[in-house]
Structure 1
Amino acid sequence: MDMLGQLLPFVFLIAIMYFIIIRPQQQQAKQHKEMLANLAKGDKVVTNGGLIVVIYKVEEAFFSVKMNDDVIVKIVKDAVARKYEDEA
């Protein structure tokens, strides 16, 4: 019984950490993955580097994005932080 009393606070702390830290991070990662899967040509996105670009072509592991009318570059899908319209 004494051992159970000593372990109960640790179990309680682990449960709190799960619901405050781990679970929200998992939900955020799931939402980000769904957002990446739903991106299409013409969507404006913000990259992790802070660039606002327009998706020109969706590929398997990359996006071809237009930086301006003359420049089209490829970026990895993980470099997309969020959709630009989400900030408005």
Structure 2
Amino acid sequence: MLQFFPAAAQAPAGNSLLGIVVPLVIMFAVFYFLLIRPNQKKQKTRTSMLNALKKGDKIVTIGGLHGTIVELTDDVVVLRVNDVTKLTFDRNAISHSINTSTETA
């Protein structure tokens, strides 16, 4: 009888399981440290910045609009863009806050 697969080419079952699990664990660790963890850290920083907003803060929206916060609720922010123009934005549309502590009053 002809054998198409020689017996020497077959690996033991215990070694095969270890050969499958270890690369998967290493791949998950790489994805966690390169993708998941930095995104969680960035999201935590953004959430704390949004929670720390108060009236009078100067901010920049995601679209690049600069303004000063006039009114603030849980979901909505009203910005004063110039002396008469007030615009309403979703709170999540705020990109970052401009540090006003370096300016002189």
Unaligned ranges ≥5, structure 2: 1-13
**Paired-residue identity, %:** 32
Larger Rg: 2
Tell me the equivalent position of 2:66: 52
Tell me the equivalent position of 1:81: 95
Q: Secondary structure at the match of 1:22?
A: helix
Unaligned ranges ≥5, structure 1: none
TM-score, with normalisation over the residues of structure 1? 0.90
What root-mean-square deviation, in Å, do the aligned CA atoms of Structure 1 and Structure 2 show? 1.6
Q: Secondary structure at the match of 1:49?
A: coil
Report 1 or 2 for greater relative contact order, CA contacts < 8 Å, sequence distance ≥ 6.
1
Q: 1:13 aligns with which of 27, 31, 42?
A: 27
Tell me the equivalent position of 2:53: 39
Tell me the equivalent position of 1:64: 78
TM-score, with normalisation over the residues of structure 2? 0.76
Q: Secondary structure at the match of 1:55?
A: strand
Q: How many pairs align?
A: 87
Q: CA deviation at 1:85?
A: 2.3
Which has the larger share of helix? 1
Q: CA deviation at 1:6?
A: 1.9
